[in-house]
Amino acid sequence: MAALSSQMNILVEKTKNLIQMCEVLQEENDLLKLEVQSLQVAFNTCSDKNKQMEEQMKAMAVARSLDSSEADKDAINEKILDTKQKINDFVREIDKCISLLK
Q: Identify the DSSP state of 102.
A: -
Other CB atoms within 10 A of residue 83 CB: 10
Q: What is the C-alpha separation between 51 and 59, in angstroms, rounded?
A: 12
Confidence of residue 49 (pLDDT cuts 50, 70, 90): very high
Is residue 1 helix, strand or coil? Answer: coil
| Separation between Cα atoms, residue 5 and residue 17, nearest integer Å | 18
Q: Is residue 63 pLDDT above 70, yes or no?
A: yes
| Of the candidates 73, 71, 92, 70, the residue with the CA atom closest to the CA atom of residue 81 | 73
Q: What is the pLDDT of residues 26-46, one digit of tens each?
A: 999 999 999 999 999 999 999
